[in-house]
Amino acid sequence: MYKALLIDDEPWILKDLELLVDWNKLGFEVITKISNSKEAVQVIKKQLPDLIVCDIKMPGLNGIELMKLVKRDFPGIYVVFVSAYSEFTYAKEAIELGAFDYILKPTKDKELRTVLKRVSSHLGKDNEEKKKLEKYRKTELFLELLENNLEEQIIIKKLNNIGYNIAYDRFCVVIVNCLANNLTNEYWQSQLKDCFSSYKLLFIQFGEKKWLILCNFSSAVLIDSRCFNEVGLVADKFKLSVGVSDSFDNLVDLKHYYKEAELIAYNYFIYKKGGIYKYSLYNNNYIELSTKIKGLTSCSDLKRFVGKLPELLPEERINLEEIAYLYNCLQEKANALCNLRFEIELLAPLDIIYSFNNLQELFEQLLSSLNEYKGSDKSRVSHDIVEKIIKEIKQKYNQNISLQDLAVKHHLNYNYLSQLFKKETGQTFTNYLIELRIKKAIKLFSKDLLFYQIARKVGYDDYYHFCKIFKKHKGLSPSEFKKKYI
């Protein structure tokens, strides 16, 4: 219910305004009626109404003078004036100075009702924006904790500043990737909170579909199998991929355990479905496979090995970082055994996520390279095709665009296109796209936009990923860069 304050020097008009419409039904509560405009100043400061309905011409402090004070100190308060025809010049000036609207006397119920509905709609949008700003503030703070080496007491103090008070001696990080479209976050968050009912939780939004949950719990409780089973059911129900780090007792180690949870939360890429994944169960299981890769002695053996990987890897309890390592080993082996005559672009874990839809697609493109380019020198695609691709990148840089998608669209082999793109532009596709997005982001720094909004506008749904990439390429975080150069 929004708070409304009525001000008029004639008490009978105040009474009429209050009785003219059903304020509660329209979402407002009339908290006070005041006939003295000077007294109103103190009431406004004390009660902070959302809406002031005020006579425009009053003795002492008139409506316009009162509004100037309100807008100076409380710009979020909406002001609607009630005026007579003879006061129209005042009303026009009031609108120019920031009044929301004005209503002519004698006031009609339909007109007042219409204005109140409009004010209510604007207040609703304002509240949504405030919620977004609060989420953004929490996200910004958490980025600071992850990016800087801070002492534990400083970390605890910063968490206290956003209303998260440490109650227990153990922590773990949970990363949730929401795989379903059009799913309201409150649905699955409510059920996850029930699963973690014994733990103190902090939800931080890192992207449209990515959330971090910091769990604080007693070492006497820990996170038991019952809790994991319940979370698994929620993950299956809502198509969530949930990564859980090992537990830890010192917040100085937060960044390390965030990385654990993030890596394992991307296991939907491997298993093609949501679920709950605990880091300790998916760690260091790639050593035997890497040994097998090193032992391969022919191109045909390599192709057979690559062909089996999409089925083999899910059974090996392997995480995304290890997949990236194995993939890069395979590329190097392919160049050595199969005479693939192009430069290899090594992929990081998140490069894989943003370039391919799933594990099978990743290794299918490598197998395609082995089949198409073994010992041969395929005729070169013209310079024109790269120009077309660059044009498409410039048009779609803010979308989920990948070299794999472009290769499929233009009927080219992924690795061959990667080589050709670097030859023509002097840089890899990934770096070209990153530099373009960063340039576009910097141009938006002068706009009245928050950094998470800028990140989305240039193609990064994961705000933390955007900040990491920006700092890697510019040496400063987005906020530091804006403060120094914009």
CA gap 410, 154 in Å, rounded? 52
Q: Give the chain as a 3 state SS string.
A: CEEEEEECCCHHHHHHHHHHCCCCCCCEEEEEEECCHHHHHHHHHHHCCCEEEEECCCCCCCHHHHHHHHHHHCCCCEEEEEECHHHHHHHHHHHHHCCCEEEECCCCHHHHHHHHHHHHHHHHHHHHHHHHHHHHHHHHHHHHHHHCCCCHHHHHHHHHHCCCCCCCCEEEEEEEEECCCCCCHHHHHHHHHHHCCCCEEEEEEEECCEEEEEEEECCCCCCCHHHHHHHHHHHHHHCEEEEECCCECCHHHHHHHHHHHHHHHCCHHHHCCCEEEEHHHCCCCCHHHHHHHHHCCCHHHHHHHHHHHHHHHHHHCCCHHHHHHHHHHHHHHHHHHCCCCCCCCCCCHHHHHHHCCCHHHHHHHHHHHHHHHCCCCCCCCCHHHHHHHHHHHHHHCCCCCCHHHHHHHCCCCHHHHHHHHHHHHCCCHHHHHHHHHHHHHHHHCCCCCCHHHHHHHCCCCCHHHHHHHHHHHHCCCHHHHHHHHC
CATH of the domain at 116: 3.40.50.2300
Statement to judge: residues 238 and 114 lie in one domain: no
Statement to judge: residues 175 and 253 lie in one domain: yes
Amino acid, res. 108: K
Statement to judge: residues 224 and 195 lie in one domain: yes
Average pLDDT over residues 436-448: 95
Statement to judge: residues 153 and 110 lie in one domain: no
| Residue range 27-80, pLDDT digits in tens | 999 999 998 888 889 999 999 999 999 988 888 888 888 999 999 999 999 999
Domain membership of residue 198 (yes or no) is yes
Domain membership of residue 141 (yes or no) is no
Domain membership of residue 292 (yes or no) is yes
Domain membership of residue 140 (yes or no) is no
Statement to judge: residues 9 and 120 lie in one domain: yes
| Residue range 313-323, pLDDT digits in tens | 877 778 888 89
CA gap 171, 201 in Å, rounded? 10
Q: Give the CA angle between residues 129, 115, 61 to the nearest 5°.
A: 90
Average pLDDT over residues 117-146: 88
Amino acid, res. 59: P
Q: Which residue has the higher pLDDT, 446 or 344?
A: 446
| Residue range 175-220, pLDDT digits in tens | 999 988 766 778 888 888 888 887 888 998 888 889 999 999 888 7
CATH of the domain at 271: 3.30.70.270
Domain membership of residue 408 (yes or no) is yes
User: Nearest-CA neighbor of 277 among 245, 314, 312?
Assistant: 245
Residues spanned by the domain of 220: 149-281
- What is the number of structural domains in the chain? 4
- pLDDT grade, residue 346 (50/70/90)? confident
- The residue written with tokens 């260091």 in the block is 284
Check: CB of residue 322 under 8 Å from CB of residue 286. Answer: yes
- Domain C-terminal end among 250, 281, 312: 281
- Domain C-terminal end among 242, 262, 281: 281
| Residue range 376-422, pLDDT digits in tens | 444 455 678 899 999 999 999 999 899 989 988 988 888 888 888 98
Statement to judge: residues 416 and 315 lie in one domain: yes
What's the whole-number average pLDDT of the chain?
A: 87
pTM here? 0.75
- Whole-number CA gyration radius for the chain: 30
Domain membership of residue 317 (yes or no) is yes
Domain membership of residue 52 (yes or no) is yes
Provide the phi-psi class of 151: left if phi over 0, else alpha when psi is between -120 and 50, else beta: beta
Amino acid, res. 177: N
Domain membership of residue 138 (yes or no) is no
